[in-house]
Structure 1
Amino acid sequence: MNPPPPDGARILLVEDDERLAPLVVRHLADSGFQVSWAADAVAADAHLRAHGADLAVLDIMLPGEDGLSLCRRIRRDHDIGIIMVTARGQEADRILGLDLGADDYLPKPYSLWELEARAKAVLRRCIRPAVSSGPRAVQQAGPFRIDSDSRAASLNGQILDLTRTEFDLLARLAGDPGRVFTRDMLLECVRGGETEAFDRAVDTHISNLRRKIGDDPKTPAFIRTVWGVGYRFHLP
């Protein structure tokens, strides 16, 4: 069983719907979270600068600056979890949100209990150490050095700028070179098996990870696609 998220974890809800927001705030607060509400990106930025947060729940359709732009900036400036929510349920929107650094995506209308479950899952993943193949805190896989205690990874001595999801994927794959991981296995790794997801979520994160490690997607040196199954890590 996965451990619960930390008591009183701080959630920032960024939502302009004045009827929905109080319901979400009350439900999450009743579940033990410290919840703050911002109606737009300006208020969200001000809150994060002044108070911080452990998780942001962002609506894409905000007045003024939209949630996608805000997501990009939060991922750049703050080390917190991000869940995107929107009435636009197309897969393209989900992929774009994940590509910008969101940890999860929830289409509207959504169940408050599902949002609570996803928030707990993201928070658990944010605070747990990366999965490794053994008791070592540091993995050395060819030119990669992966430190699960500091959650830092380097390639040929150069520190990699990875999101939590990208770090967890790299640690999982590099921890067992040659093993084929299905998409379901990787989803369980990065989301703790707690939330319903879709295959393209893993593909999007793998694409981002490949770009950051300089892996050509057409002829990847390290993260290779096993068509119809998933991925495996190759040491040249």
Structure 2
Amino acid sequence: MFGNPLFFIDERTRLAVDPNMVQKEGVMIGPNISEGLHEVLDEVTQYNKKQAQSWRSELFRLLDPPLPDETSGMAIEEATKRTKDLTYKAIARASASLVPIFVELSESLLEQRTSVTMFSQLEILLTDVALTAYKLSTRKTQLEIHYLHSIKNHRYEAQIDVFEPNALHREELDDNEKILDGRRILFVSHPLLIACGNTDGSDYNLRRVWKKATVWMGPSKKDEDMIDL
């Protein structure tokens, strides 16, 4: 959702055509443009980052407009409310469609993969994540997301301010805060988030860490010895 906040655009396009369209589980109806639009945005970013990110920001702001004041008139007020409602409905539907995928990928970790309560809570959780990603996308700042594929060749160093060790390393670090230094990163439980540029869409060479990557460097020697036993 953070990597491609346009993920809800398919649902949003369908609702623009027919606001009363009934969602059919597992069935894709109408255009499928979110990935293509995301690729186009990446493409134009290569040669004009400022205008590309400005376009993305303005699109998201237009789809979630602030409610007008009373002097704007009933027609403007209704049109604004309709746009907001359809956007939030699209985000909720698109988030709900990801729940079965999440459950399938996490099957081995779930005790009750058919629990109605679990599905409901996952829908709420994913919708909250999607809304957070959406709000971030209204900014002109560009968000870089680094997963394992761009981090795995790095080795952990306590002094590097883009990594933080997973909680599984807590016991090791209590004994020696530098014990993980030099070990290869094997797993990323939370990606590295870097914001590029200012809020006005300028100076994209300016980079700030919004969230460090939470990384795991494998079991400790003590844990490995216990496994061998």
TM-score by length of 1: 0.27
- Larger-Rg structure: 2
Compute the TM-score of the two structures, normalised by the length of structure 2: 0.27
- By percentage of residues, which structure has more helix? 2
